[in-house]
A = this chain, B = another copy of it.
Amino acid sequence: MGEDRRPEILDATCRVIAKVGIPGLYIRRVAEEAGVSRALISYYFQTRDDLLQAALAFAEQRAIDEIASRTHSGTAIERITQALVLEFDDSPAVRDNWVIWSELTEAALFDPSMRGPIAHWSQEWDAAVAGAIREGQADGSISSSVDPDAASERLTGLVDGLGARWLLGELTPERAQILVREAVHLELT
């Protein structure tokens, strides 16, 4: 058996979505981007929807790993602040991730089969932030009067809303980071 070629195919799929959006996502284009045959893509991913859902999972897991690798120190409130602020890191990888998220969210509006995967990652993200809030209540860095679930839903909802504006150039990453830092302070202290 050869090596697993899925990661490079999914990485290429993410680059194609970030460049041209889901309407321009064709297997042929992914094959060119990845430098593999269309047959190989079809071997791993039977349908375009399979490929889309796997690309979403790949992009989200990569973002989670990236944030986890950069937010290991400090109190819980410091780690939450770092993690949310990193969502507005002005690097191509972060920006591509936002475009992919935005494109797949939009696709789910008219394609209910995409809603489960999108909801799954929203919930993962909410649960991670709510878990960190509970850790902060244990380590004393976050007020015990905070409702972890409501605060988490609002913080991640705010990041989603500001992310859309950042993508369209309505908001600088620096401004988004300031707004998010203040939101963490208002919500959690």
- A binding-site residues for B, Cβ under 8 Å: 20-21, 23, 99, 102-103, 105-106, 108-110, 115, 118-119, 122-123, 150, 153-154, 156-165, 167-171, 175, 178-179, 182-183, 186-187
Contact = CB atoms under 8 A, between A and B. Distances in A.
Given A154-B158, A154-B182, A186-B186, A168 B115 contact: yes
Given A109-B167, A158-B158, A160-B161, 15 more contacts: A20-B110, A103-B106, A109-B168, A115-B168, A115-B169, A118-B170, A119-B169, A123-B170, A153-B162, A154-B158, A154-B179, A154-B182, A157-B158, A159-B161, A161-B162
Contacts of A187: 186
A156 B162 CA distance: 9
A165 B122 contact: yes
A115 B123 CA distance: 30
Contacts of A164: 105, 160-161, 164
A105 B179 contact: no
A168 B115 CA distance: 7
A175 B161 CA distance: 17
A146 to B, nearest CB: 10
A68 B21 CA distance: 36
Contact of A182 (B103, B108, B150, B161): B150
B161 A157 contact: yes
A133 to B, nearest CB: 14
B179 A150 contact: yes
A156 to B, nearest CB: 8
A58 to B, nearest CB: 20
A2 to B, nearest CB: 36
A137 to B, nearest CB: 17
B20 A168 contact: no
